[in-house]
Structure 1
Amino acid sequence: MSGSQNYINHVALVLDASSSMSHLSDKVVDVADRQIAYLARRSRELDQETRVTVYVFSNAVECVVYDKDVLRMPSLKQLYRAGGMTALLAATLKSQRELAQTAQLYGDHSFLTFVLTDGQENASHRCPDAPSRKPGELVAAVARMIETQEDNWTLAVLVPDQMGRREAMQCGFPKDNIAVWDATSTTGLEEAGQVIQEATEKFMVGRSKGIRGSRSVFSMNADALNEATIKAAGLAPLDPAQYRLVPVTRDAAIREWVVESGHAYRTGAAFYQLSKSEKIQARKQIAVLEHRTDRVYSGDEARTLLGLPDVEVRVKPDHNADFTIFVQSTSVNRKLAPSTRLLLML
């Protein structure tokens, strides 16, 4: 029997342990432990082998767990202590450099790393794990590393603000592999843990379909929408007599706008245009509109094409010049945004 279908995931958490994280220490351990428990459950359910690595960083970078079977992982309670500065670049480089030495024999291996920080880089130029003492060279080294990683590598980062987002983009992180979290409270960290869990779910479900890596781990994969991928997914356009596209010109509840536009409202027949970050439930249908032709495609394959798993997941809309994404509404009060369109199935 060939080992080629044996999916092996190498998931790494690279956790900021600088002094400013001290007030969140207990919650960091709680969130990380729950993420590991979730990974263990989903690994069993999806029949995927998952191995976990954990790095903590402050003035220096320490690997506290290396490539350990997720079913045998200890709590991080004794392994996480906050104190010191923020060697973010050194931690990113060291984690990826060391994980790259992991054997990838007999199986379909994939690497997923989440870096979590509550501040900006301020210590890597003095860190013994950094390959350079010059901040500019360190930024360039991270960007070069990300650019040259193979397609089975996914590197994502959670930062505390827009400055952190800009710095992460300068370091070469794909824009849809960067998320902003509220680093001022345990609630913010709780929400960050949920974002990581949802991104991991999307990754693991994608793995079961043969996807090896992602440059849109925190985002809907709208750049996958094009004529070729729609054809390959087996999506056929709906008969134009089956639907209407209704412009939305003001703030309105969905049932109110359908009726005002001269149509009867039926639950599940109206689709709103995805225009902001939100949660999409597993049962919600997806439709995509091709701008050039006004053709509409829908079906289970549309969810798969966009990388949506069979569980509730938070997504944010990507820009796609050729297609618009619509989501089924089962609510009568769903607020519609002006300057969008409503897709109505007849």
Structure 2
Amino acid sequence: MSSNPFAVPGLDLGLGTSTPVSEESTFLHTDDTIHEVIIVGSGPAGYTAAVYTARGGLAPLVFEGSIGAGGALMNTTDVENYPGFPEGVLGPDLMGKMRTQAERFGAQLVADDVTAMDLMGEMKTVTDSAGVMHRAKTVILAMGAAHRKLDIPAEEKYSGRGVSWCATCDGFFYRGKDIAVVGGGDSAAEEATFLTRFANSVTLIHRRNELRASKIMVSRVLEDPKITVAWNSRIVDMSGEPTLQSLTLEDTVTGQTREIEVAGLFEAIGLVPRSELVAGQVELSEGGYVKVDGSSTRTSLPGVFACGDLVDDVYQQAITAAGTGCRAALDAERHLANLTRDPS
């Protein structure tokens, strides 16, 4: 039984089982191995890089993460714009298929977190949660991006007690209740429409007077009788005991405040790149995204490549992440070939 109190009963994520991380794991005794490539992160970028490097005979070691294996798509409902799925596909199902494909070709998948990296030298080191250091000639960074938070004082208090960042994980628990979603892009629109399956009503809170979402998603939101849009509004406070019961909204035009009663809030206000482990080593943009060389995935350090939402502050789509994962794998293969080429 899952220890996650918000696990949806009967939901099969299709991820199979990863190499266990324990003292008995044979993996923990392979710290002397020099890997051709280590991939840090999963999701469309990491798994695609794993497929390509594994097919290339490089036996990649992939750190998927102990909790977030599969990346942000694990929190996504229907993915309707990924080629090859005319009827759409659930995010967890798509990630499960990618993961299975990578494993089939020989990728070594490990459900563990990376706690440190030393990428400066010719030989790269990646440290896992048990403190074991793993060496590699090349490293592909695919850590993705985390959900951006509202950063208001009460947010942490209600995290897991009414505030969520995953509609597919937690929507079930709000059956028949009034809830809210904050955001104005496709993710927020998708969360709002998905949550109408469970909730009595959904209030979509957006700080502007029009949504940034695609036309089809805007139409679905505006035409859904269960969804009300709170235009020109931002959340300034939360209240309730012991769980969330109401939100205080401030009008971004007039400054007036009002309170709405909700049992839950789902946040979909963008992403923040997970680049903290490589800050000070590879070059980052002002927004914290890893910089790459032109159309390649080469970072400022030789032998280190980056892909997916970790480098993309514009598109942030599953298909573009997968594409950069492919490019990172090919760039890494080319780098390794150059290392072994006879200089004469």
Higher relative contact order (CA 8 A, sep 6+): 2
Question: Given the two structures, how large is their TM-score scaled by the length of structure 2?
Answer: 0.27
Higher helix share: 1
Question: Given the two structures, how large is their TM-score scaled by the length of structure 1?
Answer: 0.27
